[in-house]
Structure 1
Amino acid sequence: MAGTTQVQAQNQKVMGENKPGYDEKRIHYGFYLGMSYSKYYIEHSQAYVDQITNGTKVNTMNSLGFYPGLVLNVRLFEYLDARFVPGVGFYGRSIDFERNVEGEEGGNFDNTTFASPVIELPLLLKYRAKRRGNFRMYMVGGVKASRMLGNTTHTQNGNLLQVNRNDLSIEYGVGLDIFYPFFKFAPELRYSHGLMDQKSTAGGEYSPLIDRMTTRNVSLIFHFE
């Protein structure tokens, strides 16, 4: 009698779960929509330090961007998946150059904004916690290759700055799987740290002021699978 009661309780639990056999499938597909704050992280050169008092100040600005993409999820082990999530990002990373002019207040500004579509190819590992009803926490981490498609040279009364097209980033984040009757929804917070120097060796008027510049992204991503 006790065994029958236990089986009935287990059956009721399964019936209360949406998509109960979801994790047993080897491959899942889906899509995502993401929003991000993105910027260049700049390391100033010695030339910048030498001229800072009466020269040019360099400041980066956070810019809001968005990106859609596709999801290919492959089950590796019970709690570990591999995910290929290619997408197209639309960012507008900006750098302000404030030139101090003797006898003038406030200085003169040059704003360099690299607004261009970016092809992004993240390859991630997803570690899933044990499912609790229709909810489950997870962590992701991996690498992302990307390539800028548009113009990489900013010109305004001359060649101001040039950036490289290609980048490689480390990505990591956390998310929550929410199971509905017909699909799984997963909000995710992900951080991206660029590894490659984005300052081009082709030069530019402001290039000597920058020793190294890399990308930084903080993204909120909504997955539908």
Structure 2
Amino acid sequence: MGKTVLKINLLTAIFVASLMNAQLFRTKDRMDNLEGFDNQKFSYGFYLAGNNFDYKLVLDPKFGMDGDKNLVRTKSSYSFGAGLIGKLRLNDNFDLRFEPGLQFVEREVYFDTQSNDQYASGTTAYPPFIPRTLTEADKLRTVKSTYVDLPLLIEVHGDRWYNSRPYAAAGVNWMMNLQSNNKATDDNQQGIFRTTASNFAWSAELGIQFYFSRFKLTPGFRGTFMINDEMVSDNPDTPPYWNAAIANGKTRALMFVLKFE
């Protein structure tokens, strides 16, 4: 995985460097491309995204911690997404963007919570339960998610310099998880990890827009951070090996986006 990420980063760096050489530093006999493009009231396009999604967990001090040891760990993975772009020009420096898309995500959550057997007699907040020996299948949850991502962003950009200009954007997202399992009656005791279906997040993005003779290409980096807790509690009769160990869990993601307009 590490070598693959290094190759991706190297190819991205070469790609961006080539763009910068072509668009920024070669000034001889260069014409400004798409001169009136950004004066349109509305414009459209699409984007592709390479993603890294993870959970930021706050663990329950009783069921999720054993002294200073975290009993629940997460592992992110690289995935992809794609979507459409709709832009409304507000003035020379501000645009309003709506970029609906699909994000395909897979993460791992590992519950090393066998030590919670010590609470089998019950606590003030949890009823007694019969301990069970956790297998690797019990401990590992592979969480697949398909998010319908609906971000609304305010973009601010600098003045155009030849065939490029920098920009920054920020806004809010509504993210519908089509694989949340939130309505399932089974839970982790039967191997079903449940999360919320409807979620809200905020996003921030930085990048550079490059103008070619027929289209505008925008590579950028976007961070998306969930606002609400996504964890759905296990059923009352389920032992506290799983979601009881998590007090709060929210998605955080870093995306490399490549936009075509």
**Please, which of 171, 177, 187 is the counterpart of residue 148 of structure 1?**
177
Aligned residues: CA RMSD: 2.6
- Bigger shift: 202-211 or 178-187? 202-211
Give the alignment of 1:1-225 within 5 angstroms.
16-48=31-63, 52=66, 57-100=71-114, 108-109=135-136, 110-152=139-181, 158-159=190-191, 161-203=193-235, 205=239, 206-225=242-261
User: Could you state the TM-score of these two structures normalised by the residue count of structure 1?
Assistant: 0.84
Give the letter for the 1:128 counterpart: H
Please state how far the C-alpha of 1:173 moved relative to its aligned partner.
1.4
Q: Which runs of 4+ in 1 moved over 6 A?
A: none
8 Å CA contact 1:31–1:69 kept in 2: the answer is: yes
What does residue 123 of structure 2 align with? none
Determine which structure has the larger helix proportion and give its number. Answer: 2
The runs of 5 or more residues in structure 2 that have no matched partner are 1-27, 118-133
Residues 220, 41 of structure 1: CA spacing in aligned structure 2 closer, same or farther, 3 A cutoff? same
What SS does the aligned partner of 1:23 have? helix
Determine which structure has the larger strand proportion and give its number. Answer: 1
Looking at structure 2, the residues matched to 151 and 211 of structure 1 have their Cα atoms a distance apart, in angstroms, of 18
Looking at structure 2, the residues matched to 25 and 209 of structure 1 have their Cα atoms a distance apart, in angstroms, of 52
Residues 99, 15 of structure 1: CA spacing in aligned structure 2 closer, same or farther, 3 A cutoff? closer
Residues 79, 215 of structure 1: CA spacing in aligned structure 2 closer, same or farther, 3 A cutoff? same
What does residue 12 of structure 2 align with? none
The runs of 5 or more residues in structure 1 that have no matched partner are 1-12
Please state how far the C-alpha of 1:93 moved relative to its aligned partner.
2.3
8 Å CA contact 2:103–2:149 kept in 1: the answer is: yes
Please state how far the C-alpha of 1:57 moved relative to its aligned partner.
1.6
Looking at structure 2, the residues matched to 211 and 80 of structure 1 have their Cα atoms a distance apart, in angstroms, of 40
What SS does the aligned partner of 2:171 have? strand
